[in-house]
Chain A
């Protein structure tokens, strides 16, 4: 692995081992192509992670102008997140205790558990809502000023009934809910399917329960640790393989891999490969999980839980494992990632 790639992939980890910390120190004594680092950090939304991942002294190894830009990026992200947190709290107050099956996803959960404010960029908020409860949700969202629509010239254009129906009948999520707040627009994506329409597992997922995630700035309800992980797998697979995403090269953004690894490391004491594989089998997402694990392994080859799961699957689900055993897709994914598939 190129030393620039290695430095990035190690620095962006929240919970580092001593060995990884020492390797970062060592890498920072070498000649680093900071232009390449800057490009990767910006293109892959990893600037905040990288800045937070180095200590004060190490940050001074970064060339001055890049360091100042990263510092400014973190300040900007902090400002934006503080703003967004107000609306996360409003959402929680609105949805909680309403006999509605819902769960915060991705940034909402990461922000409450893993990442410090300013570390990760969030453009919108993501929720999972049980499909039977969407009407109830709609009424609650309208009460706090949201409408379903799209952005045009800085304004919200309400979606027509036909547009809402096309989205609802054909995708896993709704036309986003939006509201104008101060000088910007808050956007909330509502997912109503954990996986695709050909694998309806939402009953099972909600039956496995939800938990409250308490952060420094807000508390929010999410799925339990394994089902939240299952959602991340389905989401990763969809974006890594979906045509729209692949054509726009958005499938290759590294922060998605970094987020999953940070999540697994943060909760490693509470997740074990036995329960993970068993749950994923129950949810019929083993193949998607294997795809995700093998992709992650290309970037982080020593992740304990990932390796244990792959090992388990290679013995208990031989056919599935064989399907990917010599598949070059993971190699390509790795090679294409850093330069965004150019």
Chain B
């Protein structure tokens, strides 16, 4: 036994089943004594189980090989069409053989079977879709059903590959005649049967008249000409006079053609017309006749016929079904024999459950196709004449009134009152004000259309009308096509009125500037502000700068034009008037000749300055001395400044020169030292 460090490898091999019996026993014995190694083995086992569990959905299907072979067979079929020569040759002999065998079977009542792997009669016959008509079973008997197939596959599943050569060795290529029971016993026969079953399956599917389990004793009747699975659908769009009559007639036709009306979906439009969708199902052979008769119900607006060939899908489904069923049988057998470990059996169980589910799904799909193929569908769309005629007219009215009122608040309130008095509703109302005292009101309202003219008149009296638009519209509803219906009612909708009321615009008719001189600047400033506030003015700017030596102040304000004169006089009292100017402007006249609707305002700007300071002039000796000293000091400072400028200009050059000299000296010394060393 290996040491602990290497035990990991041993454990992996043990778990993988790679160890021989003695080695296994040795491992088991060692693990019983050695804790760490038992741990390692447990880990190895857990890892292996985890991998197995994780990967299980990825594992190959149990019937991998069968599926490959099936695919090969499926792909093989078209290829066999090509060598017609040999087939024709075979056919001749076949016909003869077929007659003989059939006769024989009739007489003996036993199943006859040719077992010649070289000619593989069954395979060839079963797979020639010659002239589009399979010659299935012309005298050849079908293999025994599922039973025999199961057995042989089951044997193969167990991996008895060694058996294959022996089987082949026993294949002597001579015909055999066996009974049904005997066939189940002979492996070779079963193998052959399976191969034939694969070839026959699809033709058997094609025939599919509920005779998949047909007894192999009787010769099979010739196949029907039409083996294809075709879904036929039609879409018919008709314009009819009356829906009820058309529906009754359609139902009649469907019955007469051995079909039925599977569904109806009707809708009555607001203009009283009907629209409907009928689903009519008829047998495929009656499809054309039914369609032709349904067309006569009215004017054909649109028609389309679709044909879908689902033969391939269908046959594939059948093939899959057969193989799944065979698989289930095999799995059942395995379970019955109960050979193999519990794990294997459980896997088989799981696989079987999955396969049965798949079988159910396939069966469902087949049923679905059977239904579609068995009955053609005609989707009948019926529309009554003049479906698109308008059923009413709608009159709408929208108005917008813009006006200017001297008192917008009052006008705003009044407008709402007018609407309510007329029985209308105020939908929305808003008043917005700006800092300069201007305001704008908005009223949205709905009133009855008849009341609209009087309301409009009343509203116009609220102020100066700037804009007035009224928009009438008449719309047809439900109208797409067809003539206008004479008696279509007219519906008048409520008028939507929007009223905009604005205060008159501001016009500055007076502008004044006033300069006051006052020894007490601050006092005057306060007096000016007070004057404005008392007059209901609006101070826009006010500033007071008070320095020790000199103070000044200014104020800019707006006042109403009527109060301008009074305010201006009041302002003049705040100090000595140094300068005053006023400018008068007249507002532009309204084009209608009415007095202009504006709010006149005045703008006044007041500046307050202190009286000028007066200093006496100086004469005499002291002034001369002061002038001289200051002059010489100025000269001294000027020369120092120049000195610094000169120095800063020269300094970099001096530094550069010194550096260069220093470097030169170093170099020379180094060279001298080098010379000395040599």
Q: Do A and B come from one complex?
A: no
Q: Which residues of B contact A (CB under 8 A)?
A: none
Q: Which residues of A contact B (CB under 8 A)?
A: none
